[in-house]
Amino acid sequence: MDKPIDAGLKERAAKVIPNGMYGHESTRILPDGYPQFFEKGEGAYIWDADGNRYLDFMCAYGPNLLGYRDGRVDAAAARQAALGDTLTGPAPVMVELAETLVSMVDHADWAMFCKNGTDATSMALMAARAQTGRRTILVAEGAYHGAAAWCTPLPSGTVAEDRAWQQRYRYNDIESLEAAVAAAGDDLAAIFASPFKHDVFVDQELPDPAYARRARELCDEKGAMLVIDEVRAGFRTTRDCSWSLVGVKPDLSCWGKSLGNGQPLSALLGADSCRQGAGSIYVTGSFWFAAVPMAAALETMRIIRETDYLEHMVALGDRLRAGLDAAAGEHGFRLRQSGPVQMPLIMFADDPDVRFGYAWGQEMLARGVYVHPWHNMFLCAAMTVADIDFALAAASEAFAAIAARRAEIQPSPALLAMAAAQAGQH
Ligand code: PMP
């Protein structure tokens, strides 16, 4: 039999790309057998380079909100592409998109556009410091805000000074938040928070409204900026900023991933409380004003406003969660399913080294379902009840398969090494 195409690509990549791949999309930190390269996507499905099809519960780590190659978004992008994309300045669509986002996101009075989530969070950091004239920011322990030197989770290539002027607090823990604010003294520029706790390996947590309100109060007392990092969860919890669900308005919110349903675009949205600071920083990029992603985002926003995409994902997520609990129980396993059902983290109870999660992921993959053993997953609006039932049938077989070889399942050395490297940082 011919060697799989993915294996051949990995071998070639190892010669011309450091480690063959980098970042969280590297399959070195996933169970053996996970394909690295994908040939195409359509709706809720992806095909690897060998032509194997998977129901995709990672949704490109978030950008796929409505389905890959959504016809409505692609048509809007194609119309703009016929006119121009990266030009000497932005196209008119930039203003229309800014107006649209300001009208949809309650706390926002203005918008600035960029490419990646890290651009938006880094810009939030600068805008908050410029607005307040202060240095210190508060970040929750274990929270991911991107891969720039100030926030990348691995220390290699950074210096301690890159992370100077930062205090850590525990998400949902008012006392630790107050202690971090006290430690910042009169130098507090901003409190960063995720819409809900969506860290890797640990159960997800919705925001306690009392914690969210206290974060707002502390920012008001200190004249600091409250920043919500919506990059991962944006438009997957509500059609507004996520903390509108707990009645709290931030000064700044960072968006990316789903904004253009896969087209490269991110944004910093802000209130007038941070307009002057945002207007004073020098931020830009050669591709930040590309018109095609903005046209795609405008159409994505229309679909968000006018369809039940969100309610549909929640209904499917409820079905998935209940079905998985039942299937796991039938085979003697207990799951820890946490977070919003449309952004589930699915781990096994009593599985500290994630060995069962890994083994289950491999069995799911073999049955055409792409799941992640330790990162939250994503449903997309292109999924159907039939897709969820397909996943549940695969899950039942996968639980049975790992139950049969339970005693032989070993932890992954690569995962243990990565966990140790990250733990060494704190
Ligand atoms: N913030 C959060 C919450 C994220 O999940 C991510 C990406 N996973 C980022 C920021 C950074 O986004 P990007 O990878 O597009 O730079």
The rounded Å distance from CA 399 to ligand 1 centre is: 31
Contact assessment for residue 251 and residue 225, using Cβ atoms and an 8 Å cutoff: yes
Instruction: Name the residue ranges covered by the structural domains of the chain.
Output: 5-68+308-352+363-425, 71-306
pLDDT in tens, 353-363: 999 999 999 99
Q: Which atom of ligand 1 is nearest to the CA of 146?
A: 11
Q: Three-class SS string for 323-344? A: HHHHHHHHCCCCEEEECCCCCC
The rounded Å distance from CA 61 to ligand 1 centre is: 9
Please give the model's pTM, rounded to 2 decimal places: 0.97
The domain defined by 5-68+308-352+363-425 carries CATH number 3.30.565.10: no
**pLDDT at residue 426, as a whole number:** 40
**Cβ-based neighbours of 367, under 8 Å, separated by 6 or more:** 394, 397, 398
Which protein residues touch ligand 1 with a CB less than 6 Å away?
A: 61, 116-118, 121, 144-146, 194, 229, 231-232, 256
Q: Which atom of ligand 1 is nearest to the CA of 230?
A: 3
**pLDDT at residue 238, as a whole number:** 98
Query: How many CB atoms sit inside 10 A of residue 369's CB?
Result: 21
In single-letter form, the type of residue at position 381 comes to A
Distances 301 to 73, 104, 105, 249 between C-alpha atoms, Å:
10, 9, 11, 20
25, 232, 241: which to mutate for ligand 1, most atoms within 8 A of CB?
Answer: 232
The rounded Å distance from CA 122 to ligand 1 centre is: 11
Contact assessment for residue 378 and residue 343, using Cβ atoms and an 8 Å cutoff: yes
Residues of the chain with pLDDT under 50: 425-426
Instruction: Please report the beta strands in 163-246, taking only residues with DSSP state E, as ranges in sequence order.
Output: 166-169, 188-193, 225-229
Q: What is the rounded distance in angstroms from the CA atom of residue 186 to the CA atom of residue 46? A: 50
CATH class of 71-306: alpha beta
The rounded Å distance from CA 199 to ligand 1 centre is: 12
29, 125, 257: which to mutate for ligand 1, most atoms within 8 A of CB?
Answer: 257
pLDDT in tens, 28-46: 889 999 999 999 999 999 9
Alpha carbon nearest to ligand 1 atom 8, residue? 232
Q: Which atom of ligand 1 is nearest to the CA of 116?
A: 15
**pLDDT at residue 279, as a whole number:** 98
